[in-house]
Structure 1
């Protein structure tokens, strides 16, 4: 008779991998893990009884980058084999946490002296979206953030923007300045002729009412464009 329990099964192979990956992350830090491994670490709590390495690699293969995975809509995440509603929701919670973290450095501070943080937040919030979005940062007299609002969501290459509505909302919030932000899902942040004309219209309507348009930032995967930097404002 054997001294072993014949009914006992060896632990799943991925359990050892999980512990080794966690230990490497703890000891060597985030730079010691690849993007797919960081995704694995995020997936561990949501998928406790399965090897998640194929899931992590499948997500990266489908969406292209770590940031694209987190920014992807839940419906598209669930198109990846093995990703159900619970896992997709878990990834969107991680994305929401990342955006809130990126927004913290600009809350209640003069934005013009925290410009790199503004750009980091805008890129995190919008650069990887699949449809164009138009966002406005409303500022007070000290250029501190009053509100951050997404005004419109459009198609892959167009967002309807109504300049008078932009200025009306600034007046409602008693904002004295705004920063306009939108994304180009194509990845190229170069302003279009329509972008330039729309911005000029907002500036022309806002100026007589004492509202300054500090900048219009376009973000894309390949970088950003500043209307002020391009001398378009």
Structure 2
């Protein structure tokens, strides 16, 4: 009786175990961006080779962080990425944002400034449209709420001082930190940024609410109105 030929093992046989072992021993720094992404994609695709998909995502978006921050409609443009995988990728961004928020919620943010900047960067750094976020603080400068009060286009997010005042009164907030992103990547304040900040500061003075700072989140850096002497 002739021997039955065994089907050759795929080239990626054992690759998942090896990648997991490298991560277990060396952590995320032991892996390239595409490998870290690939490791996560094992959860979306139970069998098969996801390395080409991971590499394609990095090639399109530039980095791990930019890939997981991309909107679903852009993610599914990548070969091998369907709606489920795109949603799975967005869960990473949501989890990272939640972790950052937990690190500052209920704590005096002025003494946890680095954690605050890290959180704002995680939440807004790679957003494709402008969003205007307001961090509401209590009398001890502890974060009590973090809300996006304006979403707009690639270069403008409409925000209305009266809406900020309304929420500050509802939350009994005594101080604010303003933050918005520049999808262009350049955090330099525009004249409209300066003008709306002045309006908000003046409106807040009327109800004895302090505005500690206005942060503009770019791709690499964060601009602080306080540091720049603009408020």
- Among candidates 26, 29, 51, match of residue 27 of structure 2: 29
Deviation at 1:124, TM superposition (A): 0.2
Partner of 1:220: 218
The 2-side partners of 1:15 and 1:110 are apart by 51
Q: What TM-score, normalized by structure 1, do the two folds share?
A: 0.96
- Among candidates 202, 205, 230, match of residue 203 of structure 2: 205
- Cα displacement string for residues 21-61 of structure 1 (whole angstroms, at most 9, x for unaligned residues): 11111112211110000000010110122211110110011
Q: Please identify runs of 4+ aligned residues in structure 1 that moved more than 4 A.
A: none
Structure 1, 111-120 or 155-164: larger mean CA deviation: 155-164
The 2-side partners of 1:88 and 1:15 are apart by 25
- Cα displacement string for residues 206-225 of structure 1 (whole angstroms, at most 9, x for unaligned residues): 01211000100000112100
Deviation at 1:98, TM superposition (A): 1.0
Structure 1, 93-102 or 106-115: larger mean CA deviation: 93-102
Partner of 1:84: 82
Q: What is the 5 A alignment of 1:8-157?
A: 8-157=6-155
- For structure 1, the residue ranges without an aligned partner over 5 or more in a row are none
- Among candidates 170, 173, 179, match of residue 172 of structure 1: 170
Deviation at 1:10, TM superposition (A): 3.5
The 2-side partners of 1:50 and 1:63 are apart by 23
- Cα displacement string for residues 134-173 of structure 1 (whole angstroms, at most 9, x for unaligned residues): 0010000011111110111100001111112111211111
Deviation at 1:95, TM superposition (A): 1.4
Deviation at 1:2, TM superposition (A): 4.5
Q: What TM-score, normalized by structure 2, do the two folds share?
A: 0.97
